[in-house]
Structure formats: C-alpha cells, structure tokens
A and B are shown apart, each in its own frame.
Chain A
C-alpha cells in the first residue's frame, strides 16, 4: 500500500487562480458543461454553493436523449430510478378523476425514453463524471459577483478568502435565482407570474407495493400529471412519479396565484395527498424528504440575453423551461453542452467576444427542437390566466360528461348528449367556449 507519489507541498499554490472556463453552479447544466469542456481538453472549474445535487429539486423525469449526448449510456451505471413506460394525465374534480394515459413497453426498449430520478443521487454521479473527465468541482463555495474588465467578463468573486477565479470565458448555470445574470443586466426583473412554487414529498414504500399499485414490473416506472382540483383550481400542475422504493409527489402553482389567494404551498400538497384517488397511491408510505423550490416559467418572453463578452447563461438561469411539458433538465443539459462546445470554439479561435459566443444561442435554437417549442408555447402560461374556465368549469364538465355517458340509467345516449350540452352552456356561454377553443388552438 505504500505510495511512491512525490510530495508536493507548495507546488500548486498559484498567485492567481486561472482556468480555461469558470462554470457557476453544479447542477445539470453546469456539470454537463464541465464534462464537455474537460473532455475537449480545457481546464474547467465548477463553483458549487452546496454539494452537487443536495439542494436541487426536480419532479423528476430525466429524458434520455439529451442526457446521453453528454453522458453516453448513463442509465447502465448511473443511479436512475425507473424507466418510464406509462404516462398519464388526470383531470381531477373534488371526488373524481378523468384519466388519459399511454403505456408502451417500447418506451423502455433500446434507448429508453425517460427515467425517473432523484437529483441528490444523479447529480452526484454527474459530478463524478465531470471530475473523471478532468474538471475541478469545488463544493461549498458561493459565487458572489462577476468580475469584469469593461464590458468583458473575466471571472468571478467567491465567498472564500483569496476567492477570485479568472477565465477568458464564464458559463453561468446559477439556477432559478439568477442574481449574476441580473447583475450583468442580461435579465430584467423577474415577477411572481414568471415563477412557479413547487412543493414536493418523497414517500417511501416497498418496491413491490409501488409495482403493484402502478401495475409495473421491476425497473419500470409510471408518471401521472394532475390538473384541476389537484392545484385547487389555481394555475398549476401536480405530479406523481414512481421511483425505485419511493414515490415523488408534488404540486407546482404559479407564484402569482399563491400570492393572490394566500393558500400555502404546504396546505396545497396535503390537500392533494388527501384526494381519494391520490391517497390510494401513497397510502401507508413514510415521508422521507420534503422540499420546495421555484421553477422559472417566464418562457420565451422572459429569456435573458444568453451570451455576452466572455459569458454565457444556461439552464434555469436562462429560463429554458417548458412548463407545459415539464422540460427543464433536458434543456439545462443541452444548453450546458452547447455552451461548452462554444467555449471550446472560442479557445480555438482565441476570441471570447460576443461574436463567437453568439454561436451558443444560434446552435441552441437551430439544433434543439424543444427550445424552438418555447417560442410556440410563449402564451401557454397566460392562457389559463385569461381562460379561467380551463381550470374551473371544464374539469367539472369533463367529469360530468364522463360520468353521464358511463352511467346506465334508462336514458338514451342522445338525451345524455343534450344534458351534457345544457350543463356546458350553464357553465360557459357558446361565445365563451368558442373563444377558449380558438385561443387554445392558436396555442397549439
């Protein structure tokens, strides 16, 4: 066990900490960026305020494709939970659920489509990959401000003594609270309507019980998104995801709606857990984790400036979230990867100005279809605000229609259809419904 290593006491003491790339934040975006930079032969440093994964909150479903672009066939060794083979949408009223779902074993074959994950585990694995590639991942170090020479970003100042770090290019992956991005004037004021507040519990249950309740085989997973009464008719979505031996259940509601109604996020989640359909799934489980976080849902209209001289912004800090399709971590990984490749290009050219770094945004928009989706969905978050019936009357109506059509009570189907129509007209005028529908179509 004797080590032959030569002893180097002062050898790597530097007067000035200089790296090829400074990456702020060790989440999905930052660790993907670090891995790509290091593999290309650059020396990146990741500055993480906690430990990778230990403060991140996500539902979470991790889509395979973007992750594999950076981390290869990660699911063979990374601590993923279950391969998602069934996805459902439940429209909830107080006592019922209208369920729409799709299930196919094909999702798990070949390259699986998506996995449920717990960030504390998977991020630690990503950090290990970044470190193995040669990146330096520094934990427990908060970045306080960006260092600039004129307009050009030249590094960052951390909370530690002698804590300035310099690099010709800085990639900001600071997450949902984008203080540095705002400091640089790249993002404006963020308003309550641009944020969702998410509260989540991880509930432990034996794997067999989970598999039984969700009709799954070992390693197979299911996801349920819930809408309507699940967020007490406020603008939001709830979800239930199966992990290996836990269930993740959470609800996210627009901060604006929380502020207006004064409902507490905690009460919202407990209310959801008490719903008869939901209770049956989590019954008997023990709460292992309780967490809360913000999701940036400002969308296309709130995208910050994503590049400047010597700087790029990725992930949640860049608002790259599609709230409707719960896509965030995939965009974080894509953006981290493309920012890293742009940093490599900048090093090759020896040009770190915005002219070269603009490549990051151009490639992100051209090469990542789901980023273009953000533009398509740019009104998605304002739609339910203007069309409250979507959260209020329509879930009830859908429930009424389903119950009416499925009940055999000596009434003809034609009569039932009339009843449903009358019920609908009581809830919303013809013009109202037409308006809702036309706007909904424009959205899609």
Chain B
C-alpha cells in the first residue's frame, strides 16, 4: 500500500505578530515548524503503515528550507520525502498550490505506485483556509473525508476505508472507496516520540527535490499566473475591549453595582422604592 501525506512548513504562529503599520506578518526571527495538523496526518499515515503495511511518502511545496519540515516527517517514520520547489511556484494561492501538490502526487504515484490513501492536515496554521486538501481531492477525483478523527478500518480486499469524522454536532461514520483523501484533526492521534534510528535517519535524509519540469506541470497554472485570488486588503481586527470590573466593599455592593450597570446598558432608570 502506498500512503501519501501532504505537509507544509509554517511559521510558528505562537510567535507571530502583525506589524500594525503594514498589516503584514512579522516573520523575522520566527522559527519555522511542520504545520501541527500535518504532523498528525503524518503520524496517522505511519500508524496505518504499521497496521496494514506499505510505504509512506511525504510531499511538500515550498522554498528549499522546507526540507526541515520533511525531515520531521522522516523522524516520525515516513519512508521518503519529496519537496516541490521552483521559482515558478512562488506566489501560489490555494488553487495553484493544490495544482502543484496534485502534480507532485501524480509524479510520486508514477515513481512509487498508486496511492490508496492521501492524508493532509485539516488546515495550515498560517493561512487557516483548509482549501488545499479538498482542492487536491477534487483534482485527483477521489472522495474526501474532512475532519477525520479515527480510521476505524481499512479493508484492502473490499478496497474501502471506514473513518470517523468530526461534524459540528457529533461524529459521523463514513465508509468510502479507495483511493481516498483524509484531512486530519489534532485529536486523531498523539505524535510519537521518534525512535533514535528514525531521528538519525531524518538528520541525514536528503529529500528528493522536484521542479516544474519534473512534474510535467503546466506553468500557466503555477504560482502567481495560476492564482486568481487577489488580496483586497489585509488588516488586524480591532483589539477587544477589556471587560469591566465592578468594584465594591461587599458582595452586596458589587451586586447592586452590577444591576445598576446592566440597567444603564438597557436604558432603564433605577427602580423607585
């Protein structure tokens, strides 16, 4: 079985600030990490490999330093990693990105066999769009199971996968034919503490790097050219006003203070006793 996991390197948003003047992300000095949801997707791919056998290929698009995120996948237990990196991909929106990632999956299938399950994180923590996974599924023309919480069973003979997914008001059990694309939530699993041999392998690992030509991709669908999204305006939302503290000597005084404030809000005058 061939499992493909799609990952992205993102700035560690716990450290990201918005420059109030330019309204852009301050990325300077912010460390890059493997998108946490993608790490869970990779963990799931590796545990599926351990349950059902097969190989895991990690795929990413990004600048050359994104190999670090792929190294993290190798440490978790992916067998190989491919970085799609080319100037032609610069400025990609989610449409062009899903095209590039789809092209990479197609090339990886050509090299290492058709994939039965493609796994993505539910979204990236920098863009938060959650569009690339579904976009890739659409291009592959395979069913997608978003917000996957648990793989109940993968039946190779029947060529189906049974997945529990998170929906707004509960859980949904879905049976889908293979191949199929899952987007994974963080509750799906706990990312393992990598074994020392895998960690060492990841440190030495040189990812396969593919450009537009290797993917036989259509340059007009890549990067800025292939991105119809136009950013009209970027702004930081206004800061929320802090809550009001109602002071008072005793609990009773605080309560009457609160009632007075609420009445004031509602435009009522104090009751006449």
Contact = CB atoms under 8 A, between A and B. Distances in A.
Contacts of B195: 160-163
Contacts of B209: 1-3
Interface stretch (A11-19, A23-31, A107-115, A369-377): A11-19
B110 interface: no
A165 to B, nearest CB: 7
A431 interface: no
B214 interface: yes
A136 B80 contact: no
A7 B55 CA distance: 13
Interface string B70-85: 0000000001100001
Contacts of A161: 193-196
A136 B203 CA distance: 8
Given A1-B86, A9-B79, A141 B199 contact: yes
Interface in B204-220: 204, 206-211, 213-214
Nearest to B215: A2
Nearest to A157: B196
A48 to B, nearest CB: 12
B127 interface: no
Interface centre among B200, B204, B210 (most CB of A within 10 A): B200
B237 interface: no
A297 to B, nearest CB: 35
Which range contains the number of B residues in contact with the other chain? 20 to 34
Contacts of A1: 85-86, 209-211
Contact of A9 (B55, B85, B86, B206): B55
A165 B208 contact: no
Interface in B181-229: 193-197, 199-201, 203-204, 206-211, 213-214
Main secondary structure of the interface of B (DSSP, over half): mixed
A141 B210 CA distance: 32
A412 interface: no
A429 interface: no
Nearest to B85: A1
Contacts of A87: none
Contact of B196 (A12, A137, A160): A160
Contacts of A56: none
Contacts of B214: 2
Contacts of B196: 17, 138, 141, 158, 160-165
B208 A3 contact: yes
A321 to B, nearest CB: 31
A261 interface: no
A430 to B, nearest CB: 60
Contacts of B85: 1
B208 A136 contact: no
A13 B194 contact: no
Contact of A160 (B86, B194, B206): B194
A12 B204 contact: yes
B256 to A, nearest CB: 43
Interface string A140-164: 1100000000000000001111111
A158 B195 CA distance: 10
Interchain residue pairs A-B with the least CB separation, the first 6:
A1-B211, A161-B195, A163-B196, A160-B196, A3-B209, A162-B195
Given A12-B204, A14-B197, A162-B197, 12 more contacts: A1-B85, A1-B211, A2-B213, A3-B209, A9-B79, A13-B197, A17-B200, A138-B200, A161-B194, A162-B195, A163-B195, A163-B196
